Amino acid sequence: MNEGTRRRIHLLLRDGAIIAGLGIFLIWTLAPIAWMILTSLLPHRALITRPPDIDPALFTLKNINGVLEDRAVLVDSFINSAIVACATTALALTLGSLAAYAIARLSVPGGNKLMLMVLATQMFPGIVLIIPLFILLSRAHLIDTHIGLVIVYLSFVLPVVMWILKGFFESIPVQLERAAMVDGATTMQTFRLVVLPMSLPPLFAAGVFAFIESWNEFFYAVILTRTEVKTVPIRISEFSGQYRTAYGEMIAAAMIASIPVIIMAIVFRKYILLGFSEGAVKG
Amino acid sequence: MTDTPTGPTLEDRRRRMGYFLVAPAMLVLILVVLFPIIRSLIYSFQSVKPEGGRFRATWVWFDNYRFMGSDPAVRRALRNTIFFTVGEVVLVIGIALTVALLLNHPFGRFGAFRIILLIPWAIAPVANAVLWEWILNGSYGVLNAVLLRLGLISEYKIWLGDAGLALRMVLLADVWKSVPFIALLLLAGLQNIPNYLYRAARLDGATLWQRFRFVTLPGLRTPLTLAVILQTIWAIKVFDLIYVLTKGGPGDRTLMANFLAYRVTFNYLDFGYGAALANAIFLAMLVLSLIYIKVLKPGAPRSRQQT
């Protein structure tokens, strides 16, 4: 065997290994998702056959309809989650953009130290925060209300939103704002008419982050909800348990709950890595 | 701006406006972050229990912290948390680095791979938990069916009810969900390593392994450190999976730090002891993060670029 052939075989082997690796990666990542989709489409009888009877002829929408038909099963919790996630996002973007702009541009003394402190508080695990907040909210009769959840969710959403936006505001050339002020615009007018329109991408990134995190949040929701404002993750968790056997509906519900976020993640994927690596240390 | 006569006043006005704009966000953060942090610290030195719809607090000083030393549940949780955290960090970083390297290879540079990677990450943690509860189901689970077909097990196993297996199965479910984000983080890091470094290494006759060891790994120092810190914090905080899959069982074999603090506080209603446990968890995460930063020394100038 000459040198050239050996080299070619070597390269072929390496390419083969890479393709095999990609194949394993695909199976490892997609198999659970595929099983999720199949389960939601299979009737109960096929699911409790050993091994499961995966026959496309059996496919049915019964699980999905079962989850969607009775409002109390999932739809009500979708509304609760939407209210909480939208309110949290809107509040965080409003408060966060104003504060971030002030710190980035309006020479608030100690602004950068303040931002570092805001970041440092995100090191604290949720359990540290929720114990006093639970006591506070029960005294204020805000347990099991939308407002209670939104207040608590701001604790991990607002800091991240502030960090994303402050970074962006600092990167805008200051000349534009100066020009607006020379033309007689007030600070608020400059912010609203010059800065905000340029800031749509980071506002979007921050908004997507805030929405997804509030939509998926479970730990605080377990503690703060009873009967009235059960969010989607709470309803999903109620399907599980040793004595629950509605496997098809459980998985269909989990899938339906995940679809909005998966779509958001895929559509806004460019913004996400930035937002989430900033927010990753959240409590 | 100082050369205009109205300069100082304008600057003053802007600063006053600044205070005005920062205030609402700061008030919220004081209420939902700063106040609870301080209050938790105080509670941890008290016995706080609900009595007739009110909370009664009495000072017990270090009793809560002293009690931790003799609490068998704490020892269990500590052991499980260490096993889980080490396993999680090693497996997730190992798999994620492999995935990132594969996707950075010309064969792996399809947008579709990256989109696939987003799916496990975007699935709600609770949805992931019920999915794995179903996959691991002892009577009808697909894992049992597949392994039996492959001849790797001889009978269906109750994965989550088995004292020796339960924690490993929870780990599996969490690793699957955690790999994508870390892989994307490391992939972004890989793309920041300039190609000329690889070309130079090749000219110097470096082997594949040497290029990985002396170009790739140093280039990934910052994202790797971030990944290790994040994954450690996430592993210590894991809650959703435990709550759905095992509630800490069987026999506290999957009891972990965060779940223990939750259980003590909201099931046993011992808010003071729960606060002490919560503060201990924070301290552990802080110390670990500081050690990582000291050992791994992130912040090599080039890799600090924005991901």
Which pLDDT does position A99 carry in this prediction?
95
| Residue A15 at interface with chain B, using a CB cutoff of 8 Å | yes
Cα–Cα distance for residue pair B181/A73, rounded to 1 Å? 31
- Give yes or no for residue B96 having a pLDDT over 70: yes
Please state, in angstroms and rounded to a whole number, the distance separating the CA atoms of residues B144 and B5.
80
State the pTM of this model. 0.90
Tens digits of per-residue pLDDT, B45-63? 999 998 877 888 899 999 9
With beta carbons less than 8 A apart as the criterion, state whether B244 and A254 touch: no
Quick one: average pLDDT of B14-25?
91
Query: Which residues in chain B touch residue A187, judged by CB atoms under 8 angstroms apart?
Result: 13-14, 17
- A129 contacts on B by Cβ (under 8 Å): 32-33, 36-37, 40
Q: Give me the pLDDT at residue A276, please.
A: 52
- Comparing alpha-carbon positions, the chain B residue that sits nearest to A121 is B33
Report the alpha-carbon distance of residue B47 to residue B274 in Å, rounded: 10
Per-residue pLDDT of chain A (283 residues), as tens digits, is 677 888 888 888 888 999 999 999 999 999 999 999 999 999 988 888 888 888 888 898 989 988 898 888 889 999 999 999 999 999 999 999 999 999 998 888 888 889 988 888 888 999 999 999 999 999 999 999 999 999 999 999 999 899 889 988 988 888 888 888 888 888 889 999 989 998 888 898 889 889 999 999 999 999 999 999 999 999 999 988 766 778 899 999 999 999 999 998 888 887 776 655 544 443 3
pLDDT at A243: 63
A218 and B114 within 8 Å at the Cβ level: the answer is: no
What's the pLDDT band for B302 if we cut at 50, 70, 90? very low
Q: What is the pLDDT of residue B273?
A: 95
C-alpha distances out from residue A113 to A100, A105, A116, A222, Å: 13, 15, 5, 34
What is the rounded distance in angstroms from the CA atom of residue B185 to the CA atom of residue A278?
A: 11
Q: Which amino acid is at B219?
A: G
Mean local confidence (pLDDT), B260-271? 95
Rg (CA), chain A: 25
Mutation for testing the B interface, residue in A35, A98, A127, A165 having most B CBs under 10 Å: A127
Nearest residue of chain A to residue B178 (CA atoms): A29
**A158 contacts B25? CB cut-off 8 A:** yes
Mutate to test the interface with A, among B11, B29, B110 (most CBs of A within 10 A): B29
Q: Which string of DSSP letters, residue by residue, matches A200-269? A: HHHHHHHHHHHHHHHHH--HHHHHH-SSSS--HHHHHHHH-STT---HHHHHHHHHHHHHHHHHHHHHTH
Contact B43 A132 (CB under 8 A): yes
Which chain B residues touch A261 with a CB distance below 8 Å? 122-124
DSSP state of B54: E
Within 160-219 of A, beta carbons closer than 8 Å to B belong to: 162, 178, 187-188, 212, 215-216, 218-219
Alpha helices of A59-199 — where are they, by DSSP H?
Answer: 62-69, 75-105, 111-121, 126-139, 146-171, 174-182, 187-190, 196-198
Residue B2 has pLDDT above 80, yes or no: no
Residues of chain A numbered 40-59 and touching chain B (CB < 8 Å):
47-52
Question: Residue B303: pLDDT above 70?
Answer: no
Interface predicted TM-score of the whole assembly (ipTM), two decimals: 0.89
> Could you tell me which of A137, A170, A173 has the C-alpha nearest to residue A154?
A137
Q: How many Å lie between the alpha carbon of A57 and the closest alpha carbon of chain B?
A: 19
Contact present, A149 and A223 (Cβ < 8 Å)? no
pLDDT at residue number B13: 82
Q: What is the mean pLDDT of residues B223-247?
A: 91
- Closest residue to A240, CB basis, from B116, B133, B281: B133
Query: Which class for A113: exposed (0-12), middle (13-18), buried (19 or more C-beta within 10 A)?
Result: exposed
Which range has the top average pLDDT, A121-125, B3-7, B88-92?
A: B88-92
Residue B3 pLDDT class (50, 70, 90 cuts):
low
Average pLDDT over every residue of B145-150: 92
Chain B residue numbers touching A106 (CB-CB < 8 A): 14-15, 17-18, 21
Q: Residue B307's pLDDT band (boundaries 50, 70, 90)?
A: very low
- Mean pLDDT of chain B, nearest integer: 89
Which residue of A lies nearest to B95 if distances are taken between CA atoms? Answer: A25
pLDDT at B6 over 70: no
Of the candidates B32, B142, B282, the beta carbon closest to that of A154 is on B32
Which pLDDT does position A202 carry in this prediction?
A: 86
pLDDT value of position B52:
79
Cβ distance of B134 and A212 shorter than 8 Å:
no
Chain A residues with CB under 8 Å of B174 CB are none
